[in-house]
């Protein structure tokens, strides 16, 4: 540790307490897994930053099971080392965040690809009130060979675009490994990702809960290791995309569902009066059947979007949506049951009418086509009615609030003094109940 002086948290029965009276200003956090080639250089640069700028802080290395002596090298260079047993990039960072003594945390990779002595722009923004300060490598510059072409021109721009589009945030580089944040602000987000998608989770949840996010240009250098990086392009890229989809029910369910309902309904209205010829293609009752299926699937997708919003808001994964809240105030159990029943009766009436029309008419191809034009929409209406009836009951169940539910708080187990010794940190939470719940989230639609 370095700076104006080191103050240690009070330790009682192996657990830290009284954080507010015993914190440093800054913790420089580095996740570590077999970084013996570069960890000493990174720690020395970070220590230099603290000393030169007179920052009251520490350098904290969250080791994730190194077998090459990285822990000892980090300690010798001046870092405090904690052991995080649960494997994964996110797990290491979560353990480090919980173990940090600083009010502010700046995290950076331990591969010497970022200049850990040039952190003042991040600290200045944090001192100015930002909750999360992101580095932007595309603004600061990427040195030759510092980033694979696939990542530089396809992966990072594409995933960052998806993140901005889905969550209405202005972050230009979702996957920059150098970023700073307020410790209390990030703990309120209830972070849970254990892998590389942790990088996206911080941005997404900070955006959803209305935290103040800023960016600073950051330069990326070739890392100093001789071995390949831990990152796996396709596997970790998919994990990031999967996370973005799961945390955006609108784009995963709602918008695709609305599109299917609109397209299916439009086709139904065009084909119901009779066959339509488009060049050599004739749209008939078979097209009508496909359109009806699209509408059914679309309704199911929209219902899933609503289910997901309600469940995620109740469990603290996502903030409450004003739009969904207004919908649920209108779509009560009684109204949902009445609407579903009315649609079901209409579909049943159409099906019965189609049966009598079939039995009373001549046995001809054109006659059967006319019957199907009545029966197919009627059957679709009955299917949708059951979706609405069952969905309304399910929403009522999801809306039940558990009384007296208090998510467990997280604490860090200690083994003796922290300076220069390996201290086990609590692993990342694996269920919503173990995460620190967000407070007063900003509602989003």
For residue 402, the cross-strand partners are none
Coil vs helix vs strand at 261: helix
Domains and CATH numbers, the chain: 10-247+410-434 (3.90.550.10), 249-398 (no CATH)
Considering 173-182, 217-226, 241-250, the range whose residues carry the highest mean pLDDT is 173-182
**CA distances for 84 relative to 1, 73, 421, 431, angstroms:** 20, 17, 13, 18
Beta bridge partners, 276, equal 283
Please tell me which of 8-17, 64-73, 265-274 the model is most confident about, judged by mean pLDDT: 64-73
Instruction: State residue 20's pLDDT score.
Output: 43
Distances (CA, A) of 219 to 115, 118, 182: 8, 10, 22
Q: What's the Cα-to-Cα distance from 158 to each of 130, 172, 174, rounded to whole Å?
A: 26, 11, 10
More confidently predicted of 104 and 169: 104
Model pTM score: 0.70
Q: What is the pLDDT of residues 332-348, one digit of tens each?
A: 888 889 999 999 999 99
pLDDT for res 35: 92
| pLDDT recorded at residue 240 | 77
Q: What is residue 433's DSSP assignment?
A: G
Burial of 133 (0-12, 13-18, 19+ CB in 10 A): buried
The reported pLDDT for the residue numbered 284 is 83
Q: What 3-state DSSP class applies to 17?
A: strand
Sign of the CA dihedral with 197 first, then 203, 209, and 211 last = positive
* pLDDT score of 404 more than 60: no
DSSP state of 300: H
pLDDT > 80? residue 365: no
pLDDT of residue 54: 95
Question: In sequence order, what are the beta bridge partners of 30?
Answer: 61
Is it the case that residue 439 has pLDDT exceeding 60? no
- How confident is the model at residue 168, as a pLDDT? 87
Average pLDDT over all residues of the chain: 82
Angle at 295 between CA 294 and CA 296, to 5 degrees: 90
CB 344 within 8 A of CB 380: no
Query: Does residue 405 register a pLDDT over 60?
Result: no
What is the average pLDDT across 56-81? 95
pLDDT band at 424 (very low <50, low <70, confident <90, very high): very low
pLDDT in tens, 305-361: 999 888 888 777 777 777 787 887 888 888 889 999 999 999 999 888 888 877 776
Contacts of 312 (CB under 8 A, 6+ apart): 249, 318
DSSP class of 142: B
Percent of the residues in the chain that have a pLDDT greater than 70, as a whole number: 81
Question: pLDDT value at position 245?
Answer: 86
pLDDT at 4: 46
DSSP 423: E
172-186 pLDDT tens trace: 998 898 999 999 999
Strand partners, 138: none
Residue that has been written with the tokens 């989770």 in this structure: 201
52: tokens are 């030169």
pLDDT at 411 exceeding the cut of 70: no
Distance, in Å, from the CA atom of 111 to the CA atom of 281, rounded to the nearest integer, reads: 60
pLDDT tens digit sequence for 76-112? 999 999 999 999 999 999 999 999 999 999 999 999 9
């Amino acid at each position: 540790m370095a700076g104006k002086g080191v103050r240690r948290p009070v330790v009682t029965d192996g657990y830290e307490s009284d954080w507010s009276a015993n914190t440093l200003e800054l913790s420089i956090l580095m996740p570590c897994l077999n970084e013996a080639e570069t960890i000493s250089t990174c720690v020395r640069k970070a220590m230099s930053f603290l000393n030169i700028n007179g920052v009251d802080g520490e350098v904290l290395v969250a080791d994730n099971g190194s077998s090459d002596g990285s822990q000892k090298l980090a300690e010798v260079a001046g870092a405090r080392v904690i052991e995080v047993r649960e494997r994964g990039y996110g797990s290491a960072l979560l353990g480090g965040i919980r173990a940090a003594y600083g009010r502010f945390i700046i995290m950076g990779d331990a591969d010497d690809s970022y200049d850990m002595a040039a952190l003042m722009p991040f600290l200045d923004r944090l001192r100015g009130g930002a909750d999360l300060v992101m580095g932007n490598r595309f603004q600061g510059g990427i040195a030759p060979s510092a980033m694979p072409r696939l990542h530089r021109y396809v992966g990072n721009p594409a995933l960052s675009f998806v993140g901005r589009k889905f969550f209405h945030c202005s972050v230009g580089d979702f996957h920059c490994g150098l970023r700073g944040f307020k410790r209390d602000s990030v703990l309120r987000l209830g972070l849970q990702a254990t892998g590389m998608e942790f990088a996206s989770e911080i941005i997404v949840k900070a955006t959803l809960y209305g935290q103040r996010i800023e960016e600073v240009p950051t330069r990326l250098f070739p890392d100093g290791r001789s071995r390949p990086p831990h990152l796996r392009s396709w596997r970790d890229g998919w994990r990031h995309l999967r996370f973005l989809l799961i945390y955006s029910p609108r784009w995963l369910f709602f918008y695709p569902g609305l599109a299917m309902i609109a397209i299916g309904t439009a086709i139904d209205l065009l084909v119901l009066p009779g066959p339509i010829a488009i060049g050599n293609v004739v749209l008939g009752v078979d097209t009508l059947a496909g359109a009806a299926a699209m509408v059914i699937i679309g309704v199911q997708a929209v219902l899933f979007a609503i289910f997901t919003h309600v469940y995620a808001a109740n469990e603290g994964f996502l903030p409450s949506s004003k739009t969904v809240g207004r919908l649920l105030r209108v779509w009560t159990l009684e109204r949902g049951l009445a609407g579903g029943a009315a649609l079901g009766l209409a579909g049943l009436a159409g099906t019965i009418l189609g049966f009598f029309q079939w039995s009373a008419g001549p046995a001809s191809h054109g006659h059967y086509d006319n019957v199907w034009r009545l029966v197919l929409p009627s059957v679709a209406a009955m299917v949708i009615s059951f979706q609405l009836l069952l969905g309304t009951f399910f929403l009522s169940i999801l809306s039940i609030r558990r009384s007296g539910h208090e998510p467990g708080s997280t604490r860090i187990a200690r083994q003796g003094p922290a300076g220069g010794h390996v201290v086990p940190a609590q692993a990342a939470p694996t269920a919503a109940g173990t995460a620190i719940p967000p407070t007063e989230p900003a509602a989003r639609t």
